[in-house]
Structure 1
Amino acid sequence: MMDHAHDLACVREATDRLLTAVAELDNASLAEPSRLPGWSRGHVLAHLARNADALVNVLQGRPMYASAEARDADIARDAARPLEAQVADVRESADRFQAAGDAPADWSRTVELRNGVTDSASRVPFRRWAEVDLHHVDLGIGYELEDLPAEFLEREAAFLTQRFSGHPDVPATRVTDGTRVWTTGREGGTPGVTVTGRPADVVGWLAGRRAGTALTVDGGELPKLPPL
C-alpha cells in the first residue's frame, strides 16, 4: 500500500509552491491562455479548487462530481474570478482536502473516481499531488516539467505506464528514463518499441504535455497515446 501520509505532505508542499507562484500574478494574467487548449489560467485554478473538493467527496464515499456537466459548469463559473478569490478558493479547498486526508480511515479500501474508475484510497493523495504539480506547469508561469521533484517524475511515469497497460490502441512499449524501465500498451508478446528519454520528457509525453520530440524511439514510431 502507498504511504498516504507521505503523499499528503507532498501535496501540501506542492500546493504551497503553487500558491506562492500564483500570488505574483494579477487579474489580467489570470485571463490569459494557459497551456491547456481552451482554458485560461483562471480555468486551471478553478479546476484545481473543484478537484480538491471532488477528492474530498471520494474519500468520504460520495460521487466525485454530480455529473460531467456540473463539473464543467463549475469550472466555467469560477474561471473569471479575480486573483484574490482564486487564491483563497485554492487554499481553502486544499485545506478541506488535507483535513479529509488526516481523518482516521481505512486507507486500504477501494474508492470510486470519475467514469467508474476505482482505486485504493491510499492512492488518492498521489492523484491530488499529480493534479497540483502538473497543473502548476500548465499555468505557464515559469514552473516546468524539469522543476518537478524527482520522486514525482519517477512515480508519475510508473502510474501513467500502468494506466495505459493493456490498452488495445497502444502498442506494447518499453519506456525508460535511462535508469528505470516500465512496460505499457497491449498485452501479449514482447514490446517491439522502446521509448527513451529524460524523466521530464518521459512524463511530458505520457501526460500529454509534450509531443515527444526529445525522446529516442527504437523499433518503430512513437506510440500515440489516448487522452488522460
Structure 2
Amino acid sequence: MTSDAPQLTDTAAQLDTVAAATERLFTAAAALREADVVEPSLLPGWTRGHLLAHLSRNADSLVNLLLWARTGIETPQYASQYLREADIEAGAPRALREQLEDLSASAERWLALARVMPADRWSTVVRNRQGGEIPATRVLWMRLLEVEIHHVDLAVGYSPADWSPEFVARLLPQSIAEVRPATGGFTVTATDTGYTGTVGVPDTTVSGTAADLTAWLIGRSPGTGLSGDLPDLAAWK
C-alpha cells in the first residue's frame, strides 16, 4: 500500500506541462555540438543520437494512440517491436540539424493533435505497446515521462533534482508499484514530502528526498543521497 499522491486532472494543464518540458528538452538538445550526438547517453548502448531518434519516434507513436482514441479505429502504438528498434537505429547517426528538426516537428504533431482532441474521446480505451489497456488521457502522462526522464538520460546537466515536485509526486508512487526487487521487500520514506510506500513484505527502509528515491527506483541513480540498505532492483519498465 502507498500513500496518496496528487495527479493532474485538467487536460489543458497537462498539455501545457508537456509543452513546457518539451521546450526545455529542445533547448538543451539545440545547445549540443555536432560531435556530441555520437557520444554516449546515460542509457547503456545508446548514443545521444539514439535517444533523440527515440524521442521523435515516440511522439509519432503516441500520435497513433490519439488517432485511435479520436477515430475509434485501432491504430497500434508501433507497427512492431522490430520496426521500432529499426527506426531508432536508422535515426541515431543523423546530423544534429536533422535530429532537431525531427524532434521539433514530431513533438508539434503530437501536441497539435492532443490540443484538438474532442473532450468525450479522452476516455476511450487504447493499448500501449506492452498491450496494456489505458484511457487516452494516460497518453499525456506517457509523453511527459518520456520527455522528462530522457532529458536526464541525454547527459546535458539536467538531473532528477530538476524535476518538478508535481512530476515526482506522481512518478514516485508509480515507480513503487512497478519496481521489482531481486529479493525481499522494502519501505521508502521521502524525507522532504513525507511520502511512504512499500514493496512486498518490507525488511528494510530506504530514506531520502522524493526525487532521489524516484531516480533510484527507475534506474537513473545508484542511490546517491539515500540512506538504508538498498536492495538490488530489476530494470524498471
The 3-state SS of whatever aligns with 2:202 is coil
1:29 positional shift: 0.7
Q: Could you state the TM-score of these two structures normalised by the residue count of structure 1?
A: 0.89
SS in 1 for 2:151: helix
User: 1:4-15 to 2 correspondence within 5 Å?
Assistant: 4-15=11-22
Q: Does 1:138 align with 2:187?
A: no
User: Following TM superposition, by how much is the alpha carbon of 1:115 offset from its aligned partner in structure 2, in angstroms?
Assistant: 1.7
| Alignment partner, residue 212 of structure 1 | 223
- Contact 2:178/2:236 (8 A) holds in 1: no
1:226–1:137: structure 2 CA closer, same or farther, 3 Å change rule?
Answer: closer
Distance 1:120 1:184, change over 3 A: farther
Q: Contact 1:2–1:122 at 8 Å: present in 2 too?
A: no
- 1:35 corresponding residue in structure 2: 42
Give the direction of change, closer, same or farther, for the CA distance of 1:168–1:26 in structure 2 (3 Å limit): closer
Question: In the superposition, relative to structure 1, how do residues 168 and 34 fare at CA in structure 2: closer, same or farther (>3 Å)?
Answer: closer
Residue-pair matches, total: 221
Alignment of 1:145-164 (within 5 A): 145-164=160-179
Deviation at 1:225, TM superposition (A): 3.2
Counterpart-to-counterpart distance in 2, 1:54 and 1:127 = 11
2:61 matched residue in structure 1: 54
Tell me which residue corresponds to 1:95. Answer: 108
Query: What's the CA shift for 1:193?
Result: 2.9
Contact persistence 2:62–2:139 (CA under 8 A): yes
TM-score (norm 2): 0.85
Larger RCO, structures 1/2 (Cα 8 Å, 6+ apart): 2
Distance across 1 between alignment mates of 2:152 and 2:143: 14
- For 2:40, what is the secondary structure of its paired residue? coil
SS in 2 for 1:214: coil
Stretches of structure 1 that go unaligned for 5 or more consecutive residues are none
Distance 1:73 1:22, change over 3 A: same
**Take 2:190 and 2:224, find their aligned partners in 1: how far apart are those partners?**
15
Q: Which residue number in structure 2 is paired with residue 118 of structure 1?
A: 133
Quote the sequence identity (%): 43
Equivalence for 2:4: none
Deviations 1:97-126 (A, max 9, x none): 112211214222322101212222212111
Q: Residue 153 of structure 1 contacts residue 200 of structure 1 at CA under 8 Å; is this kept in 2?
A: yes
Q: Which residue of 2 aligns with 1:109?
A: 124
Maintained 8 Å contact 1:161/1:182: no
1:134-175 per-position Cα deviation (integer Å, ceiling 9, x unaligned): 1111111111111111211121112222334xx686644322
CA shift digits 1:12-51 (9 cap, x unpaired): 0011001111111121111111111111001000000000
Q: CA RMSD in A?
A: 2.0
**Kept after mapping to 2: 8 A contact 1:170/1:185:** no
Alignment-derived partner of residue 199 in structure 1 = 210
CA shift digits 1:61-97 (9 cap, x unpaired): 2101111110000000001111111111111111111
1:73 is matched with 86
Q: Does 1:183 align with 2:183?
A: no
